[in-house]
Structure 1
């Protein structure tokens, strides 16, 4: 059966001077077209994951492309059988991905793109002079990563620069960075070039595009995503399970957030362990009075009490029914 919904993943580095006004316009368009998701509007561009019916997502892509500032935006489109978000958030933030690299403009300099099919060939023939560098956080690469990839011990992308200090010995090698959808690599690869790395590349479109266009071969485990799926299948050629249950140690690619909101740790957890622990990572969290009810998914929306999707949006009176 054909899936009726789509999930869009995208970003665009482009100057937005009227970002507050554009946020309101953008938010209103999403509301009027029944879209949900997380969208960041920043002086440096757009970043979003959006979900809705296919036709509504197509209308959204046309809307974004109609603005000449964002005409080159590339959307990764995944089919889905339901809405992937419960809410809509369109927020203004200083950056479209939180980093400590605000001085970098990927429109001026960034690593050379490697397309998915070429990257697949590189993985198959990888030699000692090529390094595949994962620039994502620990909880992301622990549930899935490319075979033989070098991972970094970071909890947030803003910690990336300090880890680069440990990579000095790789400066003469060919370094290919990758992340979920490509956005982090734009700045990570530029920073590597700034620090004297000579041959820096990036997987164009990240893991998601690689799965869509190159069947995800040699991606081990699942890809951590930022919607209510938590993880997504990527590899349709030689899939494997990379992670182990945080509680029992059995192989599992099932990812949850700890049911204790004061912890909220991202951890792999088998279905059996999930029910046994009420979705918690420890007995301490399980006994916490603030523990959220576990429904078997391990995904928790933020409190939706009194949620108003039109909050902060100035509507045209002529368009109000």
Structure 2
């Protein structure tokens, strides 16, 4: 029986008090007997938590009481067992490392497109203006190998810091196309979409909420395989159930 609620969420917002928040959030999570990882940085928050539903949602409510996080909307899935071994709260330079300091999502996002819209576009291969649509996987190669959208562009990067150079090497291939960047939960494709617009690609969108939100809000059509997640569930299928299979 699936009694453990798993959530993931992030928000890019200036957090000059990241170090102070570290202790506060760790204390709250431990008091609720949650496990997982919370990353804090000057650019925002990224969290993965699991536990009984009441405890997890209680933590989210406390977090949302801070107006900076009032609109945080976690993606949810369920599991039979706790997929994390401990509770960690870390302060980093970036909540997702890109090593490209000009990219500041809190200063303005690239346009996002909903899961339902992406599914509709992939059904025909064109966006609402008749422009050819391509999907760009911004994840690492071993994640892509577990599953991705049909025909997705995959530059075989081994870490996200390689994405900026890969974009420079391949940006000509994306010209005059509508590009939908995607990743597991939205955090990487958000930075990627901003960078693509910065280098002059005009028709770039990020898949709102990433693959997990696509699974949650659609039937998973046009996605092949499973989605790698960074916990002991290993991979999730389009029904958001654990598959525990890594090649």
The offset of 1:102, in angstroms, is: 2.5
Match of 1:223 in 2: 227
SS, match of residue 131 in structure 1:
strand
The offset of 1:177, in angstroms, is: 0.4
**1:23-46 residue CA offsets vs partner (Å, 9 max, x unmatched):** 000000000000000110111110
Match of 1:133 in 2: 136
2:57 equivalent to 1:66: no
Match of 2:102 in 1: 103
The offset of 1:151, in angstroms, is: 0.9
Match of 1:155 in 2: 158
Tell me the matched-pair count: 240
Conserved 8 A contact 2:14-2:106? no
SS, match of residue 105 in structure 2:
coil
The offset of 1:253, in angstroms, is: 8.0
**Which has the larger share of strand?**
2
Q: 1:13 to 1:173 in 2, by over 3 A?
A: same
**Which has the larger share of helix?**
2
The offset of 1:235, in angstroms, is: 5.4
2:239 equivalent to 1:254: no
TM-score, L = length of structure 1: 0.72
SS, match of residue 39 in structure 1:
strand
Choose the corresponding residue for 1:168, options 164, 168, 172. 172
SS, match of residue 107 in structure 2:
coil
Q: Distance in 2 between matches of 1:162 and 1:184?
A: 15
Match of 2:149 in 1: 146
2:183 equivalent to 1:179: yes
Q: Distance in 1 between matches of 2:101 and 2:34?
A: 30
SS, match of residue 79 in structure 1:
strand
Larger relative CO (CA 8 A, sep 6+): 1 or 2?
2
Choose the corresponding residue for 2:208, options 194, 204, 208. 204
RMSD: 1.6
Conserved 8 A contact 1:217-1:235? no
Q: 1:63 to 1:199 in 2, by over 3 A?
A: same
TM-score, L = length of structure 2: 0.93
Match of 1:298 in 2: none
SS, match of residue 20 in structure 1:
helix
